[in-house]
Amino acid sequence: MKFIKRLGPDPHENGASSLGCHGCPDIWELDNGDFAVIGADITGAASNLPPSAGCAPDERMVRVPRRTLVLAKADIPDRV
């Protein structure tokens, strides 16, 4: 798996950092066309999911700040 393209701006530009001072939320396009999301693990909240949603044992739910997703919008493809 290769990380091909960041969607949105570099979260560290201009010296910015996350509250944890280690990483920042980020969205990447992978070489197979899928996307990887870096964010806070909120899998523990899976019990609050609507009945039509689920989180399998090999999946994790990740919180992505609104700002991260909105800034990435221009880089998200319109087509499948």
Query: Has this prediction a pTM greater than 0.75?
Result: yes
* Bridge partners, residue 46, by sequence: none
38: part of which helix (H) or strand (E)?
A: strand 35-38
Place of tokens 């880089």: 75
Boundaries of every domain in the chain: 3-75
pLDDT in tens, the chain (80 residues): 999 999 999 988 766 665 555 668 999 999 999 999 999 999 998 888 999 999 999 999 999 999 999 999 999 989 88
The CA-based diameter of the chain, rounded to the nearest angstrom, is 42
